[in-house]
Amino acid sequence: MYRPIFLRYLLIGGNKVTAFFKTLIKNKVMLFMVLPGALWFFFFSYMPLVGTIVAFKQYRFTREGFWASIVKSEWVGWDNFKFLFSTNDAYLITRNTLFYNLAFIIIGLVLSVAMAILLSELVGKKLAKVYQTGMFLPYFLSWVIVGYFAFSFLSMDRGMLNQVLGWFGVDAIQWYSEPKYWPYILIFVSLWKSIGYNSVVYLASIMGIDKSLYEAAMIDGASKWQQIKGITIPMLSPIIIIMTLLAVGRIFYADFGLFYQVPRDSGTLYAVTNVIDTYVYRGLKTTGEIGMSTAAGLYQSVVGFALVMISNFVVRKIDKDSALF
Amino acid sequence: MAEVIKKQRDFHQVSRGWNFILHLIAGIFSFMCVFPFLFVVIISLTDEKTLATDGYRLIPAKWSLEAYRFVFETGDTLLRSYGVTILVTVVGTILSLIMISLYSYAISRKSFPYRRFFSIFAIVTMLFNGGMIPTYMVVSQLLGLKDTLWALILPLAMNAFYIMILRTFYSTSVPEPIIESARIDGAGDFYIFLRIVLPLSLPGLATIGLFSTLGYWNDWFNALLYIDKPSLVPLQSMLMRIESSIAFIQQNSQNSSLSLTALQSIPQDTSRMAMVVLATLPIIFAYPFFQRYFVQGLTVGAVKE
């Protein structure tokens, strides 16, 4: 009761600024709670947004620091973008990023849902738990470790794959310098790492489906296949939509570790392994084309943002509850 | 009751033949997921000379513990990297738990007038970001964190996605009336958070904490960008750096009296693989106990406010 009268008094007095500060003080504990996180967002998310201005500059690093480097760099307008899109690189990294992500999303979705349904139908739950634990392992490993795993199979002179090929009289293949195999290798490794985790997530929602639905279906004489088509998949669709939406929103962002660690940064493979993220990284650390790489990064952010908004809008139209926001 | 349910489930089951096929598929895939690790363990236990002639074999002609002996004897680098990773993981997880839980609590409270502003402030970072290079400039130039442990800790400390998960968790698992009655009894916001909200949301915090721990343990990207000092290189990054050359170990080993002949007989491939095994073992032992929390993470987040 105290607050509204208090506020009205201040507003009548026309002193909105004082009211603002009174509210601040009144909520000081809560504000102190958000302060560390808000500062983090300010420095690690919002300050980099200011830094994207470098995309429109000929960046020159100066020792005087962040602001001096940005201010003293020469303004070049859209030149960085023009140059980026005049090279073949822009097309290549966009194509690779989109192609791989689409493959991961579509094949990954089909295989993880199939594996989840398969796991839910298994008789012998103890063994099913063991399988799940095994499938879950790759999710917990870093790309560095996975890179070593891949090397133990793909090494030219020692790898297992070349040994197996040798048994069939096939000559050893230099895997790390033959681009044509890499789309398959990268898709395989990515699925290997993610299917276990995703299928266990889908399995958790299958377990949450009301069992009486299946009983009713069985009384009506529905076969196992009909039950899966008519009950399991429709009941899973909200989480499928959410997971796919999240993935589509990030379709312009590649998994840096996969494309950097697994091909061992091999230059001859760039045509099929270079994605936007690795391109930007090499611009920063190897080639030093800061302005152009920042332009590539900004291009990624803008298109990525548009994609999240569009896919979220589409999902909102279909099913309001499944939308992200 | 339990028996009745059991009988009904029996009736559900797929046929014997199908069950066998499904078991086979799941079993093979599960084995495929574990196999590369077992293979690397075998390679690390192979005699180096055998490796040079036979390549990586499932059943090597000659076994050897030499690689592990070598890693432990010259293992200054490994130990220090372990130390860096453990320190970063512990400090980072605690720090991010504190920051994330406070932030998401504040924006979950309906009485907080700025909750909408701070929710949007966090959500925007999920939708749009400055990218790798501007972030690099901020961290290295503006904040001056290059070649410090903070460069490994701070960039991973917050994450809008975890904030949304935890906010949802708070609003579903901590009933508003409890908070209201505490307030009527005269408890302050911070006291309510510490004594009522935190204990009730321990499962949610555990999930976020485990995601965070895994993120720090497996991080090599921040070290790739920000760390040049050998003494600050974390485990995963160290594995990356020895990838091409074992020289790194020799440079950094305590044993500087290694002669040239000794260098030539050093197990190379095997000791690299031994290091991979040693870096992965903690995860292999720990994850089966924690895996359910990782499933919870996504399902909790999927329930919206």
Candidates A143, A149, A264; nearest CB to B36: A149
Does the residue B61 lie in any domain?
Answer: yes
Query: Containing domain of residue B123, as a range?
Result: 76-226
Distance from CA of A166 to the nearest CA of B (A): 12
- Same-domain pairing of B172 and B291: no
**Which residue, B226, B260, B280, sits at the end of a domain?**
B226
| Same-domain check for residues B20 and B86 | no
CATH of A86-322, one of 1.10.1060.10, 3.40.50.2300, 1.10.3720.10, 1.10.10.10: 1.10.3720.10
- Within-domain flag for B237: no
Q: Of the residues B194, B226, B258, which one is the last residue of a structural domain? A: B226
**A 51-70 residues inside an 8 A Cβ radius of B:** 51-52, 54, 65-67, 69-70
State the complex-level ipTM: 0.87
pLDDT at B9 over 50: no
Element (H, E) at A75: strand A74-75
Contact A135 B33 (CB under 8 A): yes
Tokens standing for residue A4: 């509204």
Rounded to the nearest integer, the mean pLDDT of chain B is 84
Residue with tokens 């000092």: B229
Q: Provide the pLDDT for residue B1.
A: 43
- Residue B62, amino acid: K
Interchain CB contact of A71 with B (< 8 Å): no
Centroid of chain to Cα A149 = 22
Q: How close is the nearest chain A Cα to the Cα of B261, in Å?
A: 24
B256 and B114 share one domain: no
Q: How far is CA B266 from CA B49, B259, B279, in A?
A: 10, 11, 20
B88 and B214 co-located in one domain: yes
The A residues from 281 to 310 touching B (CB cutoff 8 Å) are: 281, 283-285, 290, 293-294, 297-298, 300-301, 304-305, 308-309
- Which residue from B25, B133, B272 is facing A297, i.e. has the nearest CB? B133
Residue B236 maps to a domain? no
Judging contacts by C-beta atoms under 8 Å, the chain A residues touching residue B304 are: 321
Q: Is residue B55 part of a domain?
A: yes
- Other C-beta atoms closer than 10 Å to the C-beta of A35 total 14
**Residue A149 and residue B272: Cβ atoms within 8 Å?**
no
- Distance of alpha carbon B253 from alpha carbon A175, whole angstroms: 33
Domain annotation covers residue B85:
yes
Q: Is residue B213 part of a domain?
A: yes
**Residues B109, B30 share a domain:** no
Mean pLDDT of B221-228: 94
Contact predicate B265/B259, CB 8 Å: no
CB pair distance less than 8 Å for B102 and A37: yes
Tell whether B194 and B265 lie within a shared domain: no
Q: Which of B14, B112, B123 sits opposite A325 (nearest CB)?
A: B123
Number of domains in chain B: 2
Question: Does B10 fall in a domain?
Answer: yes
* Chain B contact present for A254, CB below 8 A: no
B155-209 per-position pLDDT tens digit: 999 989 889 888 888 888 888 888 888 888 888 888 888 988 898 888 889 889 9
CB within 8 Å of B246: residues ≥ 6 apart:
B266, B268, B271, B272
- What are φ and ψ of residue B301, in 5° steps? -65, -25
Contact between residue A51 and residue B134 where contact means Cβ atoms under 8 Å apart = yes
Dihedral sign from CA coordinates of A255, B166, B158, B94: negative
Per-residue pLDDT for chain A (325 aa), expressed as one digit of tens each?
Answer: 455 555 555 555 556 778 888 888 888 888 999 999 999 999 999 999 998 988 898 887 777 788 888 888 888 889 889 988 988 889 999 999 999 999 999 999 999 999 999 999 888 888 999 999 999 999 999 999 999 999 999 988 889 999 999 999 989 899 999 999 999 999 999 999 999 989 988 998 898 888 899 989 988 888 888 999 999 999 998 888 878 877 888 899 999 999 999 998 888 999 999 999 999 999 888 888 888 899 999 999 999 999 988 888 887 877 776 666 6
B-chain residues near A308 (CB < 8 A): 127
Task: Say whether B131 and A264 touch across the interface (CB within 8 A).
Answer: no
Backbone Cα Rg of chain B: 25
Residue A118: list chain B partners with CB under 8 A.
22, 25-26
Query: How many CB atoms are closer than 10 A to CB B14?
Result: 15
- Tell me which of B49, B137, B197 to substitute to probe the interface with A (most A C-beta atoms closer than 10 Å): B137
At residue A321, the pLDDT reads 67
Surface of A (73-92) touching B: CB under 8 A: none
Query: DSSP letter at A170?
Result: P
Assign residue B160 the CATH number of its domain.
1.10.3720.10
Cβ contacts of residue A313 below 8 Å, gap of 6+? Answer: none
